[in-house]
Amino acid sequence: MLSNLHNCDFISALLHLLREDTADIHVLSVACLQQIVLRKIDYTQWLRLVSSLPGAINEANDASTKQESIKATSEGKTLDNLEVLVDKYPFHRALSKMLAYTISAHIAHITNDKDITKERGQNFQVVTNFLILLADMLSHPSPRICGEQSNTWAILLRDPQLSKTQTRLLQPCFERLIVAYSTHLVRIRWEDVEEQNHPYAALFEESFSDRDEYDLFLGDLRSKANLIFRMIGGIDPELGTSVLYQKFEYLFATYANGGVRDHLDPTTGELTQQSTAVMELEGFNLPLDNLIHGLPKWALDDTKKIPSYMDPSRVKVRNEVKSMLGNIATKIIAWNPKDTWLKFRRVTLMEALKYYWEYDATRLISAIDAFLLYLGDETPTSVGIQNLSPDVISLRKKAGVSLIAVTKKVPHLLVSWLGQLSERVKSLLSMSSILPANRMHLYEFLSCVATAVDDPTVRSKFIADVLSDALTQIESTQIKEAIGSVDGLLTFLGVTAAGSNPASVTDEAVVGQVTSNFVRLFSAFNQLLSVGKRCHEAAKSRPNAGIPLSESQLLATQNQDIFPDEGTVSISDLSMNDPFVHLWPRIVPSLMQVLNTIFSIWHPSNQAKYLKDPVQRFIYAISDDEAYLAKNQGSISNGGVFGEDGTAGSVVSGWDRRACNLAPKWSGWFNELRGTCLQLLGLVAAQRALFSPEISPIYPSLVSVVANTDHLNAMEHRHMSQYIKQFMDYILLSCPSTLYQSHVAPIAAPFFQHMEHRLKCTWAPVLKMNGIPPESTKPLMTGDCETVALLAQRGGDEWIVSYYARGGAFVGDLDAVISEALVEKLRVEVSRCYADMLQAALALKGDWALVLANAARDEQATKKGDSSVLASGPKSKVYDGKLVNADGSERSKFYYAIEARKQQRIDKLCHFLLLENETIAGYLVLSVVECLNYPDAYTCRRCLKICHRILETVSWVDRYTHLLGFQMFTYAVRGVIYEQRWMVGIEWDMINVIRDIYCRLVLGQSLQCGGQGAAMQSPMDATGTQFEQTKVVDKPLQGGGILCKPSDLPRQALVSLPGISPEMVMQLEAKLKEKRSAKDQKDTLRDILRIAADNLKENENGDDLGMLGRADVSESLLNQKESAKKDVIQDLPERLVTQSMIMKKSETSFYTPDSAEMGANLFE
């Protein structure tokens, strides 16, 4: 391209055309250059392009300036620079993107050139000049220009070779980067753009179509800029801090004392969110927060006297950095603004210093005092909680959140002040105007500090004192009566009264009393949850990771296979790490009561009663918030529920939760109460108190609630998703391996049996199975309540099938489009939660998967004899030589002992789930197999990974042969040959499962974990009738075993396919034995499955079945070779295809055993 081949130099021509703006030729030239650089040109061409671009751009700018001047002179006008910027905006934006791609697409060219990385020679100067040009463009007034480069700078800063402090390739750009991004992060008032009051209004109108587009862009820019500031702080602490310090000095001098007062509140005369001072300080907060977060420890910590910290150059930098940050902290602490929104900005700036307080706590207690002061902040016109202005409420909530954020970072520095802080908190809690949210913040604040107390007894006593009010509340007679029965809770929440007096739901006195009732009930449980979670987090962050052993005991168990703590542990022992657990015997009884009551409200007998009532029925409705998330696919932008496009008042028509009406409040209340109680249930499992001797007497009662079949059947999909994420995940991962039969089995057995049936009924209408019409997925709306109430009264399978088809959702008066989106969301969410839970339990994701990754990396380091592998992780991070996990996070002090326990649970839980309980194993495997047929790629892809783990664990067990060799194999084959649109992108994963099954059950070949690697052939035994078992049959993570006596079931399934003969199957097996690499075997299987797919297609009528329809040839994996052919005119088909043949459709049937046959009798 850059050579003079045939006297043509395309690059030079395009560079020359950059100066030609006629018909936007310069923009088109940039687009051509962009396409060239995206094709990863070789080093010589790239370097020549990089050296040529700056000069060409300067020449283009000079030519453009000259032309604009001539044009203005000829028209008798003065040159308007803004007009020029607007005219040139498309060119500048395209140029910025192209220059960024020139670097980001060729990072390897920079890192592989030793002259560049060693800062020497002409090449280094060429690249440096190019990067400076790139950085100079960031000063363009339009933030779009800056946004086009964000990814490139992030890539450069994250590259380990380029980010080393001794490499000065990037440093000349740092100041430009910080100044440009901190400038563009300041939000503009869009009204100023619309009214042409902004100096660059015309340019912003050219850059963004409307306010929404600008808001989305700014959010994206801020998220990417966070990383840039953080990385600069880590690479050059002194420069980064110095630039921001200068900016702070300017902002503080200009705006801190209200020197610029515009856009004032007409009522109070105070600054508002739209005031320039507030917006400028808001834009500074993110840069400060992220830069301090990114500072290396040596730049702040002067307590360590190790050589690397005491290097003279580092000492100098540290002194400068701490001096500048100290000055910032001093001024912020001394600042006493009068305007509410300046107070808000002061709170955010103090929170941004949380990483600094850790190393210099001289002003920390003053910051804590300021947070506590703002929790009770009132203005002269807003005294009392009912009269607080929205601005004051925002300030109080932010002060509470910031208080927790700072305290979580430095709790140990506040322990000496615990007595005084406790008294201050009690004083605040006694205020009638304190917000409910701030009450929670105060309890969390004290619990965070208390967890840093060294004495376990003192810690536990303090936590008990903090929570005494909440415990008293849940043990009070009124609360016990309320949560003890369905009638009691519904009466407590005003539902019963609404049946006899519908007007009561809008009676101000009734609404106030009922709201107070709920707040007392919910706040008690929520306080327990908040404090319990903080205590659990603190326990897990201790060196022993919360294991109930001393450090010496933990060290003594490092090389053992039997761990003394892997069983029942008393609450007194658990309290040594976690000061909250001793409260569980008081909490669990009330927790069981409230959960039992809430679950019972959804029983069909109660739904039949309350759905008939025009007001009471709304206890079953979704909330406006859930409707909003369904409408916006999980996004919370565009103003939220109460915004212009919000859904407030759409479920209970004309009423929202802010109104004086109980009906729209009930749905949110039940969601909050149920979610909090389920999280408490997960917390008691995670803290291991659930498995303690003190809880064992009431454990059967707890099982009767959480594993009650009636409760499970009556849960809506949204409730089941909560149940899985907030409880089942924790009990599976937290239960000691010796207690699986006694504690997990009673809960897991009914759960897996239920989930298999729930998922089947949920997807049946979509798949048009069992005669269930697709119309049954229509959500329940207000007009259909009477009919559904009669169906609920009859109960049984008829009700359950229709209930699951619509996800159990009652949408009230919500419009049909959002309602349908909600049902689809609920359907896929419950399926995905189930798949994610199984993945976590089988160590395919999450914390346990990290343990396996660490083990694999340790093995690699041992084989290579290179321990440096253990001190490095993902290449996108910079490491300081300390041991890290495979994901780059720092390893704990006793990681070996901790991971040994997790490794044991990984092995034993997999064995327990699949080989020790027939109900659990049968329904678990059957549900996973059936998920391969449900049209959700997320669920299917994860279930395919689970299938590999199942095969590795149980393929050698004869009792599984039919389930794996026919059922799983048939579903996988059908998924490939039907070529459904939703399956596009996961066909190779499906074929790999087919390969895994066929190798293990038919050919006597074993594979590596996850179906990877070449197949390893096992020899025949002396009889010649069966294969010898592998040596790792009892070790699934090392590949597992095979079926010694080959099964014919997969062969029969293949022969039953259209176009497949027994001879073809024999040829297939010969090829699979001859070539055993993963690629060869998968290609061979794809070839035979293509034949079956082609035969099926010939008899299809071409109906458009949407996502269930067949993918196009261009999308199909089976037809990759055909779709890859280019510039070939295909011959006309020799075979005549008539209309009757097109209309004819053959139905290929696959035998599908029912659940009872496949699950319940698995071990008989």
* CA separation for the pair 61, 49 (Å, rounded): 18
Inter-residue contact 430 to 414 (CB < 8 Å): no
Tell me the residue ranges of DSSP E strands in 701-813.
780-781, 810-812
* CA separation for the pair 934, 178 (Å, rounded): 49
Residue-by-residue DSSP string for 941-994: HHHHHHHHHHHHHHTT-GGGHHIIIIIIHHHHHHHHHT-BGGGTT-HHHHHHHH
* CA separation for the pair 391, 275 (Å, rounded): 14
Q: Which helix (H) or strand (E) element contains residue 1014?
A: strand 1012-1017
- Tell me how many degrees the CA angle 224-227-229 measures, rounded to the nearest 5: 110
Q: What are the tokens at 373?
A: 């002061």
Partners of 652 in the beta sheet? 655
Would strands 1012-1017 and 780-781 be described as parallel, antiparallel, or unpaired?
Answer: unpaired
Q: Which residues of 898-913 are buried (b: 16+ CB within 10 A; e: fewer)?
A: bbbbbbbbbbbbbbbb
Secondary structure (3-state) at 651? coil
Q: What are the tokens at 270?
A: 């105070």
Q: What are the tokens at 24?
A: 């936007």
Predicted local confidence at residue 551, as pLDDT: 76
787, with CB counted inside 10 A (0-12, 13-18, 19+), is: exposed
Residues in the chain: 1164
* CA separation for the pair 621, 829 (Å, rounded): 18
Q: Which helix (H) or strand (E) element contains residue 117?
A: helix 114-117
Q: Which residues of 38-48 are buried (b: 16+ CB within 10 A; e: fewer)?
A: eeebeeebbbb
* CA separation for the pair 42, 20 (Å, rounded): 28
Residue-by-residue DSSP string for 584-612: HHHHHHHHHHHHHHHHHHTSHHHHHHHTT
* CA separation for the pair 736, 691 (Å, rounded): 8
* CA separation for the pair 131, 138 (Å, rounded): 11
Chain position carrying tokens 């730049």? 299
Cα atoms found within 13 Å of the Cα of residue 116, Cβ hemisphere only? 21
For 854, phi then psi, to 5°, come to -65, -40
Partners of 780 in the beta sheet? 810
> What type of residue sits at position 251?
L
* CA separation for the pair 515, 518 (Å, rounded): 5
Count of beta carbons in the 10 Å neighbourhood of residue 447: 27
Phi/psi zone of residue 1004: left (φ > 0), alpha (ψ -120 to 50 degrees), beta?
A: left
> What type of residue sits at position 938?
Y
Q: What are the tokens at 842?
A: 């089988």
Q: What are the tokens at 69?
A: 């001047």
* CA separation for the pair 602, 712 (Å, rounded): 10
Q: Convert the pLDDT of each residue in 313-330 to its tens digit.
A: 999 999 999 999 999 999
Inter-residue contact 1005 to 1042 (CB < 8 Å): yes
Chain position carrying tokens 């994901």? 887
Partners of 1005 in the beta sheet? 1017
Cα atoms found within 13 Å of the Cα of residue 1109, Cβ hemisphere only? 11
Inter-residue contact 712 to 759 (CB < 8 Å): no
Q: With the CA atoms of 917, 921, 924 and 928 taken in that order, what torsion angle do they form, in degrees rounded to the nearest 10? A: 170
Give Dmax (Cα) for the chain: 104
- Kindly tell me the sign of the dihedral angle through the C-alpha atoms of 1033, 1039, 1044, 1048: positive
Partners of 1110 in the beta sheet? 980
Inter-residue contact 666 to 544 (CB < 8 Å): no
Chain position carrying tokens 């707890």? 702
Spell out, as residue ranges, where the chain has pLDDT lower than 50.
1-7, 1104, 1122-1161, 1163-1164
258, with CB counted inside 10 A (0-12, 13-18, 19+), is: middle
Q: What are the tokens at 1130?
A: 């295909």
Residue-by-residue DSSP string for 394-460: HHHHHHHHHHHHHHHHSGGGTGGGHHHHHHHHHHHHT-TT--HHHHHHHHHHHHHHHTT-S-HHHHH
Quote the DSSP letter at residue 476: S
* CA separation for the pair 489, 483 (Å, rounded): 5
Predicted local confidence at residue 864, as pLDDT: 80
Q: Which of 892, 568, 528 is nearest to 882 (CA)?
A: 892
Q: Which of 392, 294, 284 is nearest to 328 (CA)?
A: 284
Partners of 395 in the beta sheet? none
Q: What are the tokens at 864?
A: 């290579």
Inter-residue contact 589 to 574 (CB < 8 Å): no
* CA separation for the pair 993, 947 (Å, rounded): 7
Partners of 884 in the beta sheet? 890
Inter-residue contact 149 to 96 (CB < 8 Å): yes
Q: Which of 382, 359, 360, 357 is nearest to 371 (CA)?
A: 357
Partners of 1017 in the beta sheet? 1005
Tell me the residue ranges of DSSP E strands in 864-909.
none
Q: Which are the contacts of 54, defined by CB distance < 8 A and separation ≥ 6?
A: 129, 130, 133
* CA separation for the pair 907, 953 (Å, rounded): 10
* CA separation for the pair 79, 61 (Å, rounded): 15
For 778, phi then psi, to 5°, come to -65, 130
Quote the DSSP letter at residue 1019: P
